[in-house]
Amino acid sequence: MPGKKEKTVYKRILLKLSGESLLGKQSFGIDPDVANFIAEEIKSVSDLNVQIGIVVGGGNIFRGLEADSKGIDRTSADYMGMLATVINSLALQSALEMHGLPTRVQSSIEMHEIAEPFIQRKAVRHLEKGRIVIFAGGTGNPYFTTDTAASLRAMEIKADIIMKATKVDGVYDSDPVKNKSAKMFKKISYIDVLTKDLKVMDATAISLCRDNLLPIIVFNLQKKGNIRSVICGKKIGTYVGE
């Protein structure tokens, strides 16, 4: 830990956070204490020279699919969800900068006053300079989730892995909250995730990762030290790959 330089197995990662991960015990919005905890976890790996990109969802503020089912036009609902991811990205940026971590927000929807436009080469340059880059606005297109955005951005920045943060320890064969005897997979293939419909990420995101051989690790964000453990190669969570 501090004072001891650990070896890392990944040099550039894409961390995927759900909007719900920022809720804490609230039913809506952003819990500053949770944002601070996430920032501390990311800061704990800042001495390892790991380059970090982040994609955060917007479900704690607005969820396009739910709005669509209640009569809002799907395209409009999805754009509203993209704007929610920008709010979360700015909150996370603030928390990270309070811990002294240089951070940039790049948005797929142009809003020059608060974020840079997403430019692949510029994002990579930020990462090379040790800045954390938060990718907001999803893919910038309706009908695509932030899971798909995470897969897309991970490939564009040539990340070594996607780290999918969840509230459970990994990928299970059924919902571990509802089924106490649910079995957790230590390793699973892309095709098994798709055929078993395991809801790790949506099918488009998994297919993108499969086509480009980009591995995914699904882990519990709520356990302190897990981000650092994954980056240092410890057997945490579920590995999704070939």
Does residue 46 lie in a domain region? yes
CB 50 within 8 A of CB 231: yes
pLDDT in tens, 7-44: 999 999 999 999 999 998 888 999 999 999 999 999 99
Does residue 214 lie in a domain region? yes
Regions of the chain where pLDDT drops below 70 = 1-5
Position 63 scores a pLDDT of 81
pTM for this prediction: 0.94
Range of the domain at 120: 12-241
Overall number of domains in the chain: 1
Does residue 92 lie in a domain region? yes
Does residue 191 lie in a domain region? yes
Does residue 179 lie in a domain region? yes
Helices (H) and strands (E) counted in the chain, each on its own, are 8, 11
Does residue 38 lie in a domain region? yes
Position 37 scores a pLDDT of 97
Position 1 scores a pLDDT of 47
64: closest CA among 36, 47, 84, 88? Answer: 84
136: closest CA among 104, 93, 107, 114? Answer: 107
Place of tokens 């995914």: 216
* DSSP classification of residue 25: T
Does residue 2 lie in a domain region? no
CATH number at residue 19: 3.40.1160.10
Does residue 5 lie in a domain region? no
pLDDT in tens, 63-73: 877 877 788 99
